[in-house]
Structure 1
Amino acid sequence: MKLIFLVFLLPLALCGEINSETDDMNRSTGVVQRGLQDDLKEFVDLIPMNKIMSVALNYIVADKEVQALYNYIRSEEFRELYTAAIKTSAVRELIEILESYGLPVVKYINQITPLLMLPTYPQRMSAEKAPTKGVNGLVDEILHVLPRDKLIGLFIRKTITSPDFRQLLKNLGSEQTLRAVIKFASNKEVRRAYAELNKRGVDIVTISKKAITYFLNLC
């Protein structure tokens, strides 16, 4: 359970640099910034999980009623009931509401279900996180996860230090390559295939402009 909260706290810790000025001001005034996950973690830290697990295992081994319950939960009959229940809109709606409050309900459920041989609850993107920007949005997000500065630095270094890399750049910029590219772009079958892709959001010109703009640090 502690691991769940650490997973949620990690992004918060990584975001600390974004508000460095605010953090400095808070330190100077003695104010400590806290969030919901910090509050919840205090409760989790008070729960003696090892002792609880020890008690539960003791009952599963020695108590007939608890054994019967445990065996039923692991049965095919209950598995079918559980699977049907988690597919209903009522269950999904409640879980999505609780998740929207910052409670990691799905992660809790999926920590327990393997122990009971039950299917995990499917992870779902919330509406605000679901991608809705099409192919251009996909290109933008891929570009922004690329290590731009490192790639540019490596390109410059290889251009200076590697004769083979310089030769590759020379070959790519040659008349032979240019003629081959023009022939490729003029090919009837290629143009037909591209027309179908273009109907579905693939615009090579736009994608090229996005890549150039991004690597020139103009966005």
Structure 2
Amino acid sequence: MKFALALLALVATASAYELPNFGRGYVLHKDIQEFIDLIPVEKVIQITLQYFTEDKDFQRMIEYFRSEGFKQLVKDVEALPEVKVFMDYVHNAGIDIYKMVNDLNSALKLPPLTAPSYFGTYITGGINGYIQDILNVLPQQQLRDLYEKKLKTSAAFADLVAQLKSDNFQQLVNQVYNNPIFQELLTHARTEGIDLIKIKNLLESLWGIKIPTY
């Protein structure tokens, strides 16, 4: 009975269900959430509660979910390599499927599954990949909006930006750029296929720092 009540409580709290998401895979999360939003959750809850209180077959099904046989079935399915591959794919797309599965496991009093470590899971690979992965997690529009806001509301920040845009600082950038050691670094970066133009454009658009062209 406790399990049944817990299951119903889980359903009842889903009236505004948000698919677990941890910041990545926003497009996939949004696509699936749109399907979930079309489900008339309140009506589903009402029908479920009525079946739970009035229907013997439904009550027997709930009791079966508490059985050792069903728990073993869940464990066997979760142990399949194909399930692991699929769950890792969904996890890597940014949807916290391990949280959803572990909510079920908790209700069944089964041990939780361990999600893949963040490290080594999400990286694209290579220096270009590193730069792109960092750019992907930066809230660039919010940074630009905050930049514009601070220019208008903070004299100290406006003074700093003025320094960065000054001829003095530009001369500093030019000297560093022309330094032979720095040029060796740039040559190595180009040899590795690093998109220096992307970095140059980002610095120029965000901070107004003019980087000399190679």
**Pairwise TM-score range, normalised by the shorter structure:** 0.3 to 0.5
RCO greater where, 1 or 2, for CA within 8 Å and sep 6 or more?
A: 2
TM-score, scaled relative to structure 2: 0.45
TM-score, scaled relative to structure 1: 0.44
Greater percentage in helix: 1
